[in-house]
A = this chain, B = another copy of it.
């Protein structure tokens, strides 16, 4: 056996994530590792908390990064908040709503599903009707930005409805954080999780989360232990809390946190509103170009995510041949369809550092070339 060092190709990442990583973030990632209890490092962790509060637009004290990918952040929200005594309404309009359901089932809580069509936003009226019919429901969960379809749901309205029915909210913001308007405190979100590798343009592997005071109280007042030791946030907070002595829980992924810190510094330097505006502007450029190429969007314009553009694959076009050609000829990655859209859609990401004119230009030209070659 003799395996050599791995030198990856230089790709342009315009799939559903990971997105193009800003070179500043890769530099930060490679800085010298320090101990996870080094005062220099724990000081940086406090900054990560502040920067995440800014990104989430929240003053929640319990705002940290879970030391694992977004699906662990999702699970952290569900297993810490829920017990089998709870009733959860999950709004499902794609793969990630379905994953929420899996999480509720593995906790053993009672489950009510509100289904909306794939490629559409969650319907607030349906949620309202469901909550009226099910007064025992005490949690509402939904995906803000469905990465599997490119649909943006109206988180503000959904949270208002949930609150009016005394439900706490659990919100998936994996693809939305940094890319579209998101205001945790203004909207009254109780638990939210995201991912490092989408609009923050950081490397994959971390999941920013934030819990409101109401949610934190639920966790503190649990009578049964959280089923996951690793994701037990009452233990994790003993390490992340800046007050007093930090207790050891697990070894933090030191270098990945350097990278997240840098990603959040970049976001702060650009400004959140400016980042949202940039995603929108680049999306408009891309959408115009895609339409000229004859590609049709799955999601109606008003419910479209700027950072994830899902289009139908035209009839007679070979899905895999196009994507392989883009990858091999242009080093350009676009995303395949997922779930209901496997084989019938492409997902073109404009996330974070990828939401730039040069990426849009490359994507449109390369796609035009590929469509010309692989259409029958």
Chain A residues proximal to chain B, CB less than 8 Å:
1-11, 13, 15, 17-18, 20-21, 24, 26-36, 38-41, 44, 47, 50-51, 54, 67-72, 74-75, 79, 99, 102-103, 105-106, 195, 197, 203-205, 225-231, 248-256, 258-259, 261-262, 264-265, 268, 327, 333, 338
Q: Name the CB-closest residue of B to A251.
A: B204
Q: When the two chains form their complex, are residues A18 and B31 in contact, meaning their CB atoms are under 8 A apart?
A: no
Number of chain copies forming the complex: 2
Q: Name the CB-closest residue of B to A198.
A: B251
User: How far is the CB of A25 from the nearest CB of chain B, in Å?
Assistant: 9
Q: When the two chains form their complex, are residues A203 and B256 in contact, meaning their CB atoms are under 8 A apart?
A: yes
Q: When the two chains form their complex, are residues B195 and A70 in contact, meaning their CB atoms are under 8 A apart?
A: no
C-alpha spacing A40/B249, complex, angstroms: 35
Q: When the two chains form their complex, are residues A8 and B35 in contact, meaning their CB atoms are under 8 A apart?
A: no
C-alpha spacing A26/B38, complex, angstroms: 19
Return chain B residues, CB-CB under 8 Å to A44.
Answer: 6, 8
**Given A4-B265, A18-B254, also A13-B26 (CB < 8 A):** no
Return chain B residues, CB-CB under 8 Å to A17.
Answer: 251
Q: When the two chains form their complex, are residues A203 and B38 in contact, meaning their CB atoms are under 8 A apart?
A: no
Contact partner of A11 (CB less than 8 A), chosen from B2, B26, B38, B229, is B38
Q: Name the CB-closest residue of B to A14.
A: B35
Return chain B residues, CB-CB under 8 Å to A256.
Answer: 203, 205, 253, 255-256
Return chain B residues, CB-CB under 8 Å to A13.
Answer: 33-35
Residue from A33, A102, A338 whose CB has the most chain B CB atoms within 10 Å: A33
Return chain B residues, CB-CB under 8 Å to A5.
Answer: 24, 28, 261-262, 265
Q: When the two chains form their complex, are residues B253 and A69 in contact, meaning their CB atoms are under 8 A apart?
A: yes
Contact partner of A3 (CB less than 8 A), chosen from B67, B205, B268, is B268
Return chain B residues, CB-CB under 8 Å to A4.
Answer: 265
Q: When the two chains form their complex, are residues A106 and B68 in contact, meaning their CB atoms are under 8 A apart?
A: no
Q: When the two chains form their complex, are residues A35 and B50 in contact, meaning their CB atoms are under 8 A apart?
A: no
Return chain B residues, CB-CB under 8 Å to A226.
Answer: 106
Contact partner of A327 (CB less than 8 A), chosen from B38, B51, B75, B268, is B38
Residue from A26, A28, A30, A75 whose CB has the most chain B CB atoms within 10 Å: A30
User: How far is the CB of A86 from the nearest CB of chain B, in Å?
Assistant: 16
Q: When the two chains form their complex, are residues A8 and B229 in contact, meaning their CB atoms are under 8 A apart?
A: no
Return chain B residues, CB-CB under 8 Å to A33.
Answer: 8, 11, 13, 18, 20-21, 26, 197, 203-204
Q: When the two chains form their complex, are residues A229 and B47 in contact, meaning their CB atoms are under 8 A apart?
A: no
**Given A38-B333, A251-B18, A254-B203, also A68-B67 (CB < 8 A):** yes
Return chain B residues, CB-CB under 8 Å to A20.
Answer: 33
Return chain B residues, CB-CB under 8 Å to A259.
Answer: 255
Q: What 6 new A-B contacts, CB under 8 Å, besides A5-B261, A106-B226, A197-B251? A: A6-B258, A11-B34, A29-B255, A38-B327, A67-B72, A204-B255
Return chain B residues, CB-CB under 8 Å to A28.
Answer: 5-6
Contact partner of A106 (CB less than 8 A), chosen from B69, B70, B229, is B229
User: How far is the CB of A307 from the nearest CB of chain B, in Å?
Assistant: 15
